[in-house]
């Protein structure tokens, strides 16, 4: 009796286990049967090559290129030929990369990846998002967005000091918040590079992050007076900074009056000089010359004031100049006033034909 009950209990357990097994087997067969209709269209391998962009890197230490790492997946049906790389920027421009390493077109076999160095100066798009497109022959090319690094290279100021000198001026450059150092190797004024030997401190100059440096350009700027001066600072890494400034003008208005003879042997004339009030620059007059047309320049003696003579803005001075002009009556002459700072003013006049 007891044995019969045990056999009956075991039979129920076996039946239950069999039901579970058949349920799982049926579900599996049903899934396989159903997926059989969809798998060919949903999971078939592509018929054309298709590459993926694994990474785009803009190195903060060099703005002349960026790197694109591409992968031709292992399931790709054939080699992928990388034909072109383009960059689209926020200002609506599209740049085709014309120089790469390795050179394009480039063949990439299935399962292989390749980093392509793309030469393009991206300094105009610092700290901006750009779109990078990869074009392949006979297939679909990927596109990806990337952000360029932050770099804060700036020209802080351009300083002219007319009361000191016209033979040099200062340019201050900063790199506040920049992630890496840069090497300044060129400074240009109105598109013309200043000779390296005329710049202190000397170039190339390593500018570290969060540091500023003032360069003295030993360049005469009298030709730049009252003009816009465009200063460009460039680095070996391809970064650049720009600033426009107006060079001040020191205007000396010169006039000659009162040719006269005080004794039988001494001849004099007066030179009146006016210093413009704009800009307010103090200068020092250190010499006055006379040149008769076609003859040598003569430095005259000033007898009423001591040279160099301080000359404040918005003021005038009269210099009594000793010069024997008896032999140059009725001749045209040029009178020039010079300053210690390198500025000049001149006028043409005619020696009177009088005793």
Per-residue pLDDT reduced to its tens digit, 10-22: 566 666 666 666 5
Residue range 106-110: average pLDDT?
93
Question: pLDDT of 325-350, one tens digit each?
Answer: 888 888 899 999 999 999 999 999 99
| Burial annotation 232-265 (CB, 10 A radius, 16+ → b, else e) | bbbbebbbbbebebebbbbbbebebeebeeeeee
Q: Determine the average pLDDT of the residues in 123-147.
A: 91
Cβ atoms of 159 and 274 closer than 8 Å: no
Q: Is the CB of residue 58 less than 8 Å from the CB of residue 66? A: yes
- List, in order of start, the domains of the chain with CATH numbers: 52-147 (2.60.40.10), 153-246 (2.60.40.10), 252-350 (2.60.40.10)
pTM above 0.85, yes or no: no
- In Å, how far are 12, 14, 83, 150, 344 from 7, measured between CA atoms? 9, 11, 77, 81, 127
Mean pLDDT of 182-198: 96
Of residues 68 and 351, more confidently modeled: 68
Averaged over 261-274, what is the pLDDT? Answer: 79
pLDDT tens-digit series, residues 142-152: 999 999 999 99
Mean pLDDT for the chain? 87
DSSP-assigned letter for residue 140: B
Q: List phi, psi (to 5°) of 164.
A: -105, -55
Query: Which residue is associated with the tokens 């000198």?
Result: 165
Res 290 pLDDT > 60: yes
Cα gap 238→245, rounded to integer Å? 23
Q: What is the pLDDT of residues 25-84, one digit of tens each?
A: 666 655 544 555 444 444 455 567 789 999 999 999 899 999 999 999 988 888 999 999
| pLDDT for the residue numbered 39 | 46
């Amino acid at each position: 009796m007891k044995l019969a009950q045990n056999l009956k209990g075991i039979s129920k357990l076996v039946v239950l286990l069999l039901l579970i097994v058949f349920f799982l087997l049926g579900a599996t067969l049903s899934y396989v049967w159903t997926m059989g209709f969809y798998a060919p269209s949903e999971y078939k391998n592509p018929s054309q090559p298709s590459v993926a962009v694994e990474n785009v890197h803009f190195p903060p230490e060099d703005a002349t290129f960026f790197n694109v790492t591409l992968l031709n997946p292992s399931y790709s049906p054939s080699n992928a030929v990388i034909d072109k790389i383009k960059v689209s920027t926020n200002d609506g421009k599209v740049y085709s990369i014309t120089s790469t390493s390795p050179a394009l077109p480039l063949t990439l076999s299935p399962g292989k990846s390749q980093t392509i160095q793309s030469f393009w100066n991206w300094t105009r798009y610092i700290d901006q998002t750009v779109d990078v497109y990869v074009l392949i022959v006979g297939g679909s090319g990927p596109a990806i967005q990337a952000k360029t690094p932050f770099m804060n290279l700036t020209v802080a100021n351009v300083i002219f000091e007319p009361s000191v000198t016209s033979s040099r001026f200062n340019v201050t450059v900063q790199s506040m918040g920049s992630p890496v150092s840069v090497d300044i190797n060129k400074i240009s004024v109105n598109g013309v590079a200043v000779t390296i030997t005329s710049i202190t401190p000397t170039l190339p100059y390593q500018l570290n992050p969060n540091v500023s440096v003032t360069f003295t350009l030993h360049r005469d700027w009298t030709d730049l007076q009252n003009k816009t001066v465009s200063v460009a600072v460039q680095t070996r890494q391809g970064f650049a900074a720009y600033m426009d400034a107006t060079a001040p003008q020191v205007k000396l208005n010169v006039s000659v009056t009162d040719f006269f003879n005080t004794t039988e042997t001494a001849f004099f004339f007066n030179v009146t000089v006016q210093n413009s009030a704009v800009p307010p620059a103090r200068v020092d007059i250190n010499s006055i010359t006379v040149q008769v047309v076609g003859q040598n320049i003569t430095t005259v003696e000033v007898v009423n004031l001591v040279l160099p003579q301080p000359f404040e803005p918005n003021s005038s001075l009269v210099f009594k100049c000793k010069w024997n002009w008896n032999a140059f009556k009725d001749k045209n002459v040029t009178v020039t006033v010079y300053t210690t700072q390198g500025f000049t003013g001149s006028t043409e006049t005619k020696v009177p034909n009088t005793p």
